[in-house]
Amino acid sequence: MIIIDSGQMIDHHMKSDFPIKIRRVEYYKPGPILKKHWHKEFMIFYIEKGWAVIHCNSLAIPVKAGDLVVINCNDIHYIENCSDHLIERYVIVDFAFLLSHKDDICQTKYIVPLLETHIRFHNKIENDEKLKSQVIRLIQEYERQGVGYELRTKANLYLILVSLLERHQVPTADREKLNHQQQQLYPILQYIEEHYSQKIMLKDLSAIINMSPHHLCRLFKKLMGTPPIEYINHLRINEAMKLLRKHRLSVSEVSMIVGFNDSNYFSRLFKKYHNISPKDIRRS
């Protein structure tokens, strides 16, 4: 799996003939997991132990053991671990896997609209024990890999989709508006990823999508949960953390590399985000 400069995630380990992957992952340190990204595949998180916050578009979704969260195709998301031991299961599937070689009503009415994000589901799934048991059954069948597990996996996916369609669809007007807003924001995110170490002005960002700075700030905060400048600073600080851990660079050097001209301001901001100073990271 890689996350390219635009923030899109591409998973090279997804098999083309069976594009579904189910994994169990454990984390022992609180803090962000990966960075904000999106992918064309559909995803379901099942929290097995601990608690976390799944940030998806404009939502910060607190989750604990037993909770389910759906990530629609192209949803911008990341996870923040809030416990000493987080265990999550995730299911990631390319809906193209469910396409048939012949157009039929299932394909035209459901699968193609899902691929094109004309059908979306609510992210936080609450009070749906039936759906939870279907997801757990899918995970168990996939991990057991007995005779015909591929057929069982595909059959379970169809059942999960039916449950989501019945009880968790986002209303048409809401999803069309969100799709349009996401498409507007992608060029901004790509520009920030490519130029975060340079001086970025709000007016430069707004010019990219021909929108006023005021409206850009409102849209950005709605979808990303934070204003553009704070998002840029957060990205710079996270990149600085990687540099401090991997390279023998001074704090001042790291500060300049990630786009801060004032190393004192950089140090204050770093401590605000990570509750530890860059010098302490450098020493350790």
* pLDDT in 10s for each residue of the chain, 284 residues: 545 444 555 565 666 788 999 999 999 988 778 777 888 899 999 999 999 999 888 788 999 999 999 999 888 888 989 999 999 999 999 988 888 777 788 888 898 888 878 888 999 998 999 999 999 999 999 999 999 999 999 999 999 999 999 999 887 666 667 767 877 888 888 888 889 999 999 999 999 999 999 999 988 887 777 788 988 998 898 889 888 888 888 999 999 999 999 999 999 999 888 788 888 887 77
Q: Which regions of the chain carry the CATH code 1.10.10.60?
A: 174-283
Are the CB atoms for 235 and 228 separated by under 8 Å? no
Check residue 12 and give its pLDDT: 53
Q: How far is CA 202 from CA 4, 230, 231, 234, 278, in A?
A: 23, 11, 12, 16, 27
φ, ψ of residue 91 in degrees (nearest 5): -115, 125
- The CATH classification of domain 2-167, taken from the options 3.30.750.24, 2.40.30.170, 2.60.120.10, 2.60.40.10: 2.60.120.10
Check residue 10 and give its pLDDT: 56
Tokens found for residue 26: 């454990």
User: What's the CATH fold of domain 174-283?
Assistant: Arc Repressor Mutant, subunit A (1.10.10)
Per-residue pLDDT tens for 43-90? 999 999 999 999 888 788 999 999 999 999 888 888 989 999 999 999
Q: Which regions of the chain carry the CATH code 2.60.120.10?
A: 2-167
